[in-house]
Amino acid sequence: MQRVVIVMPAWNEGESIAKMVDVLFNNEFPKIDAEMHLLIVDNHSQDGMTETVTKLTQKYKNLKIIQQENKGLGWAYVTGMEYAMKNLKADAILEMDADFQHPPRFVKPMVDAYLSGAEYVIGSRYVKGGSIPGQWELLRKAVSYFGNLFIRVVLLKPWIHDLTTGFRLAKVKGVLDKIDLRNLMELNRFAYKVDLLYQCMKFSKKTVEVPLQFEPRKTDRSKFNPKEMISTFKVAIILGIKDKIKFIKFAIVGGTGFIVNFIALRLFRNLGLTETLSWAFSTELAIVNNYIFNNIWTFKDQEIKGLKQTLVKFFQFNLTSAGALLIQSIAGPIGVRLVGVQYDALVLAFIVLFLVLPYNFTMYNLVIWRKKK
């Protein structure tokens, strides 16, 4: 049977914690087809919560309370997740709030999604069947929705609707155990959540969204504020750029290749070479340029060294370039026939952007500068 651990940060939730524990163990866990555990991560609460939970651990053997090491919500999760993986041997971990904003009835559908093969399950407020509290004022609703939209665009994940939710389940093997939890960004803030989500999505082979009806907090003392929001956007922007750096370098090298091609063409012409030879030599020069700079800059972690390797790879690189030529000579005439010859510049731009660049980038990554296992 799969072992699922709910990691639940709780800080001065003495008022509601006993009810949360009882509802989970008595009403929800028995309905779920997995071995369920609840791990509460406390931050030295002052309101008696620690004692309440400690007493309940005698009643429920799958209940455990630990204290976090460093300050901040992110650290509560890191502490809890490490404990769940090492000490409880969790197969999957569910992040959940203690204040009933994540209603316990949504635990089962999350675990069910995991049991049917999902490696990362997002409790989503912005899919059909999910919701945010109706009584939230318009501004708060707008901030939540548009903040999410912004992050969806920046992270290039428009198909995921809720990237800031706090209700998520991740498989341990292959997903959570691949992530360097202690080095996530902004662990002392809520913003770490976006980084954690981004890393989980990178490793998860199947990510699904399950509806969540986010309830209002009974006594609203949410710690979420503009400072948290800004740091959340910051994390999203940094992540958005970080993974694209290779592509940006590749595009810059492509640009220098274009310039080399252009200048060399005129040079060879002026030297008196025939038109055909001028084109051929200048194109080959651009290919050499692109090979060298991609090798020492864009793909320097996989840099090709040694004479034999260089010759083999450079030959492959030329074949790849010939492939691009082929794509252009097939797609070009088709495009022109479709939209008319007066739009040939547009056709060229379209072909380069959507066919040649992705083709080259893929070939470079998968063939020429393939990562060694």
Amino acid at 315: F
- DSSP assignment of 164-205 equals S-S-EEEETTTTGGGS-GGG-TTTTSTTHHHHHHHHHHHH-S
Which of 13, 28, 91, 99: binder of Mn ion (CB under 5 A)? 99
* CB nearer to Mn ion: pick between 91 and 97: 97
Q: Is 249 helix (H, G, I), strand (E, B) or coil?
A: helix
- DSSP assignment of 200-223 equals HHHH-S-EEEEE-BPPPPSS----
Nearest-Å Rg of the Cα atoms of the chain is 27
Stretch that binds ligand GDD, among 105-113, 219-227, 309-317, 323-331 (CB under 6 A): 219-227
Contact code string over 180-209 relative to ligand GDD, x by CB under 6 A:
----------x--x----------------
Distance (Å, whole) CA 239 – CA 364: 23
Q: Which of residues 2-21 bind ligand GDD (CB under 6 A)?
A: 9-11, 13
Measured from each CB, the residue nearest to ligand GDD is: 166
- 223 lines the binding site for ligand GDD (CB under 6 A): yes
Shortest Cβ 146–ligand GDD spacing (Å)? 13
Q: Token digits for 351? A: 């072909």
Nearest to 61 by CA among 89, 34, 88, 90: 88
CB atoms inside a 10 Å sphere around CB 136: 15
Q: Is 10 helix (H, G, I), strand (E, B) or coil?
A: strand
From ligand GDD, Mn ion, none, interface partner of 190 (C-beta below 5 to 8 A by class) = ligand GDD
- 101 lines the binding site for Mn ion (CB under 5 A): yes
Which of 76, 81, 160, 304: binder of ligand GDD (CB under 6 A)? 76
From ligand GDD, Mn ion, none, interface partner of 249 (C-beta below 5 to 8 A by class) = none
Amino acid at 32: I
CB distance 48 to 9 below 8 Å: no
Stretch that binds Mn ion, among 211-219, 239-247, 322-330, 361-369 (CB under 5 A): 211-219
Shortest Cβ 114–ligand GDD spacing (Å)? 19
- 49 lines the binding site for ligand GDD (CB under 6 A): no
Nearest to 182 by CA among 196, 171, 170, 169: 196
Shortest Cβ 279–ligand GDD spacing (Å)? 57
* CB nearer to ligand GDD: pick between 76 and 113: 76
Positions touching ligand GDD (CB under 6 A) are 9-11, 13, 41-43, 68, 72-73, 76, 97-99, 101, 164-166, 190, 193, 217, 222-224
